Structure 1
């Protein structure tokens, strides 16, 4: 019997499969971190609120008072104070992050919570107090690791709440990241008023992030400043997912910061090294946040470093520069 010729649809199926295989191989080669990433350098460290007290994350919600569930302290620093920030820089931090809120008398106070009861011996909202009133508080008053049996930080941070201008002046040649805690355009405008008084060389070392509205108020006044928010990061990542396979970095990803939970980076073209290289060329920092990125989870213990990409040389978010810096040097 004569040999039967393959059906046309079978030949088309094989041709389609071959084309898809070649396309997939081409995408992998063009975006291979192994082939094209530089793989050089060490991680840069972002010290979250200076050197801070850490806490277990299980069960934490938006309204959880984390000061009442800290790990037993092995240092005496209270977050968001100049003392804790200086300790972070001395330990090896490359940049320090701190939180800013506007007081009732229009000052830029450095404090995380919107209310005072959790961490301090005060009460009410930060926004309802003057700076002078806030200066009298004990910032370590509410911290306990044993359900209130002891309060090891009480009395150690009385009067230590700084202002944003004071922090900027205290570290004149260091990189700083300012977190606008309230998503209010008025807060962004107040911060922009101060930043606008700084020379261009100093502005180049300061970044701002926070809510979409407050950050936009800063960017509209000072478009040259590095700024980011959820909306900015979302626009960048969507655009990059669409175009990054070509090696192109979209404009939405330029001169900004990306705070990326480690579990999601794997879906980005060129991850990890080539992606970091592309963003560096676009003047954008890639800051890796531990876990899902919830509740300021950082690379705080030696075992946390094992979860970062091998040879990572972007930025790492940490609450414990004193622990992590010696391991990354």
Structure 2
């Protein structure tokens, strides 16, 4: 399939979203989704959500401001615009806002945290809807661990007790709720040892590797996520820099940097994932190579399938 065909379908998608009133920041938007039951149903899968938006840079506005206003982390806007100074972008620059994502693989369809893309997904399986938020993660030496766990605690206005690794900087005294508390106003504790999901008093850290392993959300996002999640929810923390999705019969590939250096060969990894879905014969390999080389974290169409699995 030609790139012009891809662009045509993308235009149709944007127009349909405009008509349904979904334009504007999508930081708290819910999106319909569906996963294929098997290879024969791949054509009917809907695992790409969101849509591109557009923004003119205002006077003294930074890319960090733009990212936050549109529900993105710093990494997402920086990857898409590597040649623009994030602190002093030129006023009136017309930006395409990459608020579009391939859904991550999931076993339980409850809460998924994908480390390389620095995003958390909250699935509402019973109604086929999903929400997503940008996150900050563990820095070098404190990498956020992968694994399956559950939500075991929910707390508002938490007190932070500095762990041993932080006491040289912060001391050992508990930090009460307030502007100096790095947990922000909400804490969602996990069964994984020493790991939780919380707010932050430093929003610039969302979309960066800055924490001691915990997952940080913008203050305006953690307040929503806190109300959505329940004790007992399953949480999957995965490491997947390459995602494959399908929408309207088009196959999309989304590739992120391998931030923790876990994948020796990203192209081989992408090829393996596409083959596992039975889609390798339906993609243009040159486009797969392009996506892997760019690693800009944005879904791009690389092929097509016929709905219902017909050939």
- What's the TM-score, normalizing by structure 2? 0.28
Instruction: Output the TM-score relative to the length of structure 1.
Output: 0.27
Q: By percentage of residues, which structure has more strand?
A: 2
Structure 1 or 2, whichever has the larger Rg, is 1
| Structure ranking higher in helix proportion | 1
